[in-house]
């Protein structure tokens, strides 16, 4: 199992379940952020640790969760990431989504992936074309810019 396969499985999970979610959940951005983050931690983060691809926590999915005060995590809210998934050197994985009128939006059918650089640049590429790598956390990349 590789990083790309793990992320592909997560993307397939999102693709499979999104249409089955109740409308009250799909129509609430805050609840969807919690849904994404919880499943990111379970399906991606724990698998990467189990596979030995990472040795610690990874950066959040999308905007993360808001249910634990200052933490954007669902589980282990007092812990900090030790690495990130990047879609290109320095561009930290943000989320899967779609393109609507030339703009990236998180959501079904999850056929694009967005990466963010701490200098404000964003990169959006077709999910099938992404080559993922493990890199420094978003905060550590930002410190390197100072």
The ranges assigned to domains in the chain are 3-143
Model pLDDT, residue 105: 95
pTM for this model (two decimals): 0.92
Model pLDDT, residue 71: 77
Closest by CA position to 96, among listed 19, 36, 23, 31: 36
Model pLDDT, residue 1: 79
- Which two tokens mark 23? 């409308």
Model pLDDT, residue 64: 81
Express each pLDDT in 22-80 by its tens digit. Answer: 999 999 999 999 999 999 999 999 999 999 999 999 999 998 877 767 778 878 778 89
Mean pLDDT of the chain: 92
Q: Kindly tell me if the per-residue pLDDT of 132 is higher than 90.
A: yes
Between residues 126 and 67, which one has the greater pLDDT?
126
Q: Kindly tell me if the per-residue pLDDT of 83 is higher than 90.
A: yes
Model pLDDT, residue 38: 94
For 33, phi then psi, to 5°, come to -60, -40
Q: Kindly tell me if the per-residue pLDDT of 144 is higher than 90.
A: no
- Tokens 């919690």, residue? 34
| Element holding 35 (H helix, E strand) | helix 29-40
CA angle at residue 70 from 135 to 94, to 5 degrees? 35
CA angle at residue 36 from 33 to 37, to 5 degrees? 85
Model pLDDT, residue 146: 61
């Amino acid at each position: 199992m590789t990083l790309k396969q793990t992320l592909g499985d997560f993307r397939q999970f999102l693709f499979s379940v999104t249409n089955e979610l109740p409308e009250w959940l799909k129509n609430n951005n805050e609840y969807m952020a919690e849904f994404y983050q919880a499943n990111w931690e379970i399906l991606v983060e724990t698998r990467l640790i189990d596979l030995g691809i990472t040795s610690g926590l990874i950066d959040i999915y999308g905007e993360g969760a808001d249910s634990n005060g200052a933490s954007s995590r669902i589980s282990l809210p007092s812990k900090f990431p030790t690495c990130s998934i990047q879609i290109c050197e320095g561009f930290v994985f943000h989320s899967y989504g779609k393109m609507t009128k030339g703009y990236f939006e998180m959501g079904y059918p999850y056929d694009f992936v967005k990466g963010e650089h701490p200098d404000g640049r964003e990169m959006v590429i077709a999910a099938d074309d992404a080559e993922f790598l493990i890199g420094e956390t978003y905060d550590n990349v930002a410190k390197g810019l100072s």
